[in-house]
Amino acid sequence: MSNFQFGAHALQASQVFFQTRLSFAFVNRKPVVPGHVLVSPRRVAPRFCDLTAEEVSDLFLTSQRVARVVEKEYNGTSLTVSVQDGPDAGQSVPHVHVHILPRKAGDFKRNDDIYTELEGHDKTPSTDVFRSIDDMAAESTRLEGLFIGDS
């Protein structure tokens, strides 16, 4: 069993670029924009309100640290930070996760189109649209190196 469980998915350790005792950050197999990454609690908890105060605190402090790094690395000028909490809000993996997406002017025709993309990007049944393990590992290694002395 993977040390990094994301809902029913056993992640490759090479996808994970940052971790704390309670949270971990990993690269997305189907990013909506370059640098679209995810942050989750280590414990497989489906809903935001399932988290303890300590987990919430760590998840958001970790998300803030990750957001700072990916915005800079991907030359963003803003960020979309999003949680789809529950199936009726578009959550497809029942394990709390924060989407972090670097943004820049004009990246979508209408700014909020990103939410339409987020809703649909992982709903395709075909697996051949996912990035390769090597591709994800390369991005993860690059990001991992940016956390040394970042805070």
**2 part of the interface to ligand AMW, by CB under 6 A:** no
In the shown chain, the binding pattern of residues 101 to 130 toward ligand AMW, with x for contact by CB under 6 A and - for none, equals ---------------------x--------
d(CA 92, CA 66): 22
**47 part of the interface to ligand AMW, by CB under 6 A:** no
95 is catalytic: no
Q: Which of 84, 103, 114, 140 binds ligand AMW (CB under 6 A)?
A: 84
Sign of CA dihedral 58, 9, 115, 111: positive
Q: Which of 28, 62, 63, 80 binds ligand AMW (CB under 6 A)?
A: 28
Give whichever of 15 and 19 is closer to ligand AMW, judged by the CB atom. Answer: 15
Please write down the long-range contacts of 77-85, taking CB distance under 8 Å and 24 or more positions apart.
Answer: 77/103, 77/104, 77/105, 78/102, 78/103, 78/104, 79/103, 80/114, 82/115, 82/118, 83/48, 84/118, 85/47, 85/48
Catalytically active residues, by annotation: 97
**Contact set with ligand AMW (CB under 6 A):** 6, 9, 11, 15, 28-30, 38, 84, 90-93, 122
